[in-house]
Homo-oligomer: A and B are copies of this chain.
Amino acid sequence: MLVVMNPNAPKEHIERVREKILKLDCKPHEIFGKDNIAIAVLGNTKDIDKEDLSILPSVQHVLRVSKKYKLVSRMMKNEDTVLDLNGTTIGGKDLFIVAGPCSVEERESVLETAGQLNELGVKFFRAGAYKPRSSPYAFQGLKLKGLQYLDDVKKEFGMQIVTEVLNPRTINEVAEVADILQIGARNMQNFTLLEEAGATGKPILLKRGMSATVEDLLLSAEYIAAQNNSKIILCERGIRTFEKATRNTLDLNAIPVVKKHSHLPIVVDPSHGIGIADKVPAMALASVAAGADGLMLEVHHSPEDAWSDGFQTLNMADFKSLLDKVKQLAPIVGKELTI
């Protein structure tokens, strides 16, 4: 249920709506839009009479929302959400680029890759200190040492850090270094992690699960939003189908579908999505053309030496050449690449 109020409703009117909602055993949640103020009524709204709320002052109308998600929906907030991370915007005109190796590797290697990316103007560095791996015997990341190296990248180059958080117990140590907390595909429905990561207030990059529908993705985003954290970036990274020629099937259809139903930004990870380095640039360009707000790419100064995922990792030359094309393409779809 959604209470739509005049954009210039006085504070006391908003307060009266909030109080009424609480009296009805529900929880209010406001979003201040350009054209109006929307107050979501969270909880069991089945037995609430719309009249109880619509008669309050400054209330324009009261809607029952059939979608299972509310806070992240366009119904709640029609304008695109634009995040501002120390001057870089995500979800607006600027294309957001985050690049780096799959895993944090030895210090020199990480700094080498980061340095080269920094020279290209990349402002967000990605690398996993904690790696979710199907096999318990595969390399699980450098963990604390990895976080330390990411901090070194931050200090050395002033880059912002995007890194994955796997475990509610280590959120705090990751959040100390990360500027954006990444939640991976395997954890998209790890609701404890969503809530605890959301509660940090940090921006969250939420990857779509391998068999998650777009609605599932938006519902998982709603878990974060329900923690009063609207700094959410969705990420398409490939789904599972019968096709065996690619690692996953990057589902770019998700971009216009998300854009229709949600105000949140969506970026694409074509490196995992198609999983073969020489096919990544084609899918990266397609992502931008389809309306993505950004790209997350695996890039390494020497992919053949990468500790993991080398076969899907771009080298610097190919990454630079891709950026050049993205720069040309962006204005056609109303975007800009300023790096």
Contacts and interface: CB of A to CB of B under 8 A. Distances in A.
| Highest count of chain B CB atoms <10 Å: which of A135, A239, A255 | A135
A166 B186 contact: no
Contact of A245 (B169, B213, B246, B290): B213
Interface string A232-261: 000000011111111001111101110110
Given A68-B134, A169-B168, A253 B274 contact: yes
Copies of this chain, whole number? 4
A316 interface: no
Contacts of A274: 253, 256
Interface string A54-97: 00000000000000111000000000000000000000000000
A319 interface: no
A85 to B, nearest CB: 25
Contacts of A134: 68, 189, 216, 219-220
Looking at chain A, what size class is its interface with the partner chain? 35 or more
B244 A283 contact: no
B286 A287 contact: yes
Contacts of A192: 166-169
A30 interface: no
B241 A135 contact: no
Contacts of A285: 289-290, 332-333
A145 to B, nearest CB: 18
Interface in A111-143: 132-137
A166 B187 CA distance: 12
A253 B279 contact: yes
A285 B335 CA distance: 14
Contacts of A214: 243, 245
B250 A279 contact: no
A149 interface: no
A278 B253 contact: no
A288 B240 CA distance: 24
